[in-house]
Amino acid sequence: MGPQVLLIGGTGMLGAPVGRGLAQQGFQVRVLTRSVERARARLGDEFEFVAGNAEDVASLSAALQGCQGVHISLDGRFDPDLERRCAANVVQAARETGVQRITYLSGASVCAENCWYAGTRAKFQAEAALRAGDIPYTIFRCHFFMETLHNFVRGRAALHIGRHPSAYLWVAAQDFARMLAVAYQTPATVDKTFYVCGPEALTMRQALQTFCQIAHPEARLVYLPLWLAGWIARAGRRRELQAALPFFAYCAQATTLLSGSPDEANALLGAPLTTLAAWSRLQAGR
């Protein structure tokens, strides 16, 4: 059997497919969750579940017993600083339990010049906490994930929210999971930061058009400027949309959306090869 990895954020949009990808590569995946019942209902019985809280070092230490690694895959939209706090707690708990590797899903645009945005600042500080610790780490600064496109389709509309002047190098979670598995088994990836970029550069509009043509042919592309999306979010009390709007504003304003090169990651871990069209066909078949 392969190494055991604790997955923090395993019930999230990216945590779930990454956990499944690790399991397919032979890893034993343990999912940290506040509610074992809800997590099992969402993910099924393919993982081990353990009750705990990333904000509590004692519960983290208990969850990490017997694990060789821990992967952090959090969404800090409602509480951006969560990622920084969690990273610091994981370093402490990992030290107490003999964990051999911490891996962290960060973002491609994370760099000092973008720390004016709270979400980027939290990731930047989380990375710093890992580097300052004494546990071997690997940080993944990933570009846009294809899985996020599901969030933009609402009924018969595909919402293009705000300006996205730059193209994104879209990554499939299954490709990232494979790279993550290789990293755990490759000594040369210790204490490294890797940039993970997909094979195609597509604007948000192009990506939504491709996804909808294949997986949601009934959906019509609708552009919402940020001010209108904000009004809809407030009037409809749409908490998820309200939390996402600052990130969309960041995408329009940030001048650096890729702060490094994916060459080293591609050479050591194998480049992501899944195209958006191929991924969309998989979604259409589900």
Q: Tell me, what DSSP letter sits at residue 69?
A: E
Q: Residue 107: inside a domain, yes or no?
A: yes
Instruction: Determine the angle formed by the axes of helices 118-132 and 239-253, rounding to 10 degrees.
Output: 80
Which residue's entry shows tokens 């969402």?
42
Q: Residue 66: inside a domain, yes or no?
A: yes
Q: Residue 38: inside a domain, yes or no?
A: yes
Residue 152: per-residue pLDDT: 93
Rounded distance, CA 139 to CA 101, Å? 11
Range of the domain at 136: 4-143+172-197+258-273
Q: Residue 99: inside a domain, yes or no?
A: yes
pLDDT values of the chain reduced to their tens digit, one per residue, 286 residues? 678 999 999 888 888 888 988 998 899 999 999 899 988 988 888 899 999 998 999 999 999 999 999 999 988 777 889 999 999 999 999 999 999 999 999 999 999 999 999 999 999 999 999 999 999 999 999 999 999 999 999 989 999 999 999 999 999 999 999 999 999 999 999 999 999 999 999 999 999 999 999 999 999 999 999 999 889 888 888 888 888 899 999 999 998 999 999 999 999 999 999 999 999 999 987 7
The amino acid at residue 119 is G
Question: How many domains in the chain?
Answer: 1
Residue 1: per-residue pLDDT: 64
Q: Residue 162: inside a domain, yes or no?
A: no
Residue 79: per-residue pLDDT: 86
pTM: 0.95
Which residue's entry shows tokens 């209902």?
41
Rounded distance, CA 46 to CA 28, Å? 10
Three-state SS letters, 174-220: HHHHHHHHHHHCCHHHCCEEEEECCCCEECHHHHHHHHHHHHCCCCE
Residue 212: per-residue pLDDT: 96
Q: What is the CATH number of the domain that holds 186?
A: 3.40.50.720
Please enumerate in sequence order all residues whose Cβ is within 8 A of that of 221, keeping only pairs 6 or more positions apart, or say none.
Answer: 157, 158, 160, 205, 208, 209, 212
Residue 12: per-residue pLDDT: 85
Q: Residue 285: inside a domain, yes or no?
A: no
Residue 90: per-residue pLDDT: 96
Which residue's entry shows tokens 């609708």?
222
Rounded distance, CA 216 to CA 106, Å? 29
Q: How far is CA 80 from CA 56, 74, 102, 183, in A?
A: 17, 10, 20, 26
